[in-house]
Amino acid sequence: LYVDHPLGAGQSVPLSRDQAHYLFGVMRLGVGAQVSLFNGRDGEWRADVAEAGKRGGVLVAAEQTAPLRLPPDLWLLFAPIKKARTDFIVEKAAEMGVARIMPVQTRFTNAERIRQDRLQAHAIEAAEQCGGTHVPEVAGLQRLDRLLDDWPAERRIMFCDEALAGRSSALTGHFAGGAPGPWAILIGPEGGFSEAERDRLAALPSAHAVSLGPRILRADTAAVAALTLWQSALGD
């Protein structure tokens, strides 16, 4: 269970109404039961139920059962698409392990705004599902061109360019020997990237245009494929 509260031996952790409903109503736990907790900072903790009520409750952290496992220093930049598909991308990225999820507005992005709080809740749920101890931060929607204006030189970009579909420009071609350090993956919207964006990225020394194979993938499929490729070529 994710809690937005410090965790340490003997630390009392108050529960929200929803959390109490889940633990005591749905899971039918009572006082004395054990619950596994994480807050994205202090690793995983075993906690005991000290108070159980309909509208709240209190857990007391007892011992750390796993240290904080940080994901690779990888950001996922993607252009938000339809709601359900955007949710899918955030969920899968959190499951697969990224440090930061950054929705970006590109020339052909249709979404004008995102529900950052809802997407962050999806990331928390996904981390809970897969037993993670870290939750990636979901950033607010930012314009890609502005982001590239201040792009940190040391952070490489795996630029997934649909124009390269079917051409031999796989990630492993660039980085057969590995490339440690910070990375970002960039996935475009349904309409793909504009020529101006392509030119801009081509002029950025840290950006490397790659192909995800011979077929044009849907953006949500492309995000999962890119994460998998990056992890198999460069992850540890």
Which residues lie near ligand SAM (CB under 6 A)? 160-162, 164-165, 187-188, 190-193, 211-213, 215-219, 222
Tokens for 164, please give them.
Answer: 């390269």
Q: Could you tell me the smallest distance in angstroms from the CB atom of residue 167 to ligand SAM?
A: 9
b/e 203-221 (16+ beta carbons within 10 angstroms → b): eeebbbbbbbeeeebebbb
| Residue whose CB is less far from ligand SAM, 37 or 160 | 160
Please state, in angstroms and rounded to a whole number, the distance separating the CA atoms of residues 175 and 185: 14
Closer CB to ligand SAM, 99 or 165, in the complex:
165
Beta carbon of residue 99, minimum distance to ligand SAM (angstroms, whole number): 20
Shortest Å, Cβ 175 to ligand SAM: 16
Comparing CB distances to ligand SAM, the nearer of 134 and 208 is 208
Closest to ligand SAM by CB, 147 or 165 = 165
Task: Name the phi and psi angles at 111, rounded to 5.
Answer: -70, 130
Using Cβ positions, the residue closest to ligand SAM within the complex turns out to be: 188
Q: How many CB atoms lie within 10 A of CB 54?
A: 10
Cα first-last separation, the chain: 26
Element (H, E) at 105: strand 100-105
In sequence order, what DSSP letters do the residues of 110-136 get, joined into one string? --S---HHHHHHHHHHHHHHTT-S--P
* Least distance from ligand SAM to the Cβ atom of residue 173, Å: 13
Minimum distance from residue 143 beta carbon to ligand SAM (Å)? 16
Please check whether residue 37 is in contact with residue 31, taking contact to mean a CB–CB distance below 8 angstroms: no
Which of residues 32 and 214 has its CB atom nearest to ligand SAM in the complex?
A: 214
Q: Which is nearer to ligand SAM, 192 or 235 (CB)?
A: 192
Closer to ligand SAM at the Cβ: 57 or 103?
103
CB of 187 to ligand SAM, least distance (A): 4
Which phi and psi (to 5°) does residue 221 adopt? Answer: -65, -40
SS3 42: coil
Rounded to 5 degrees, φ, ψ at 152 are -65, 125
Q: How far is the CB of 11 from ligand SAM (least distance, A)?
A: 43
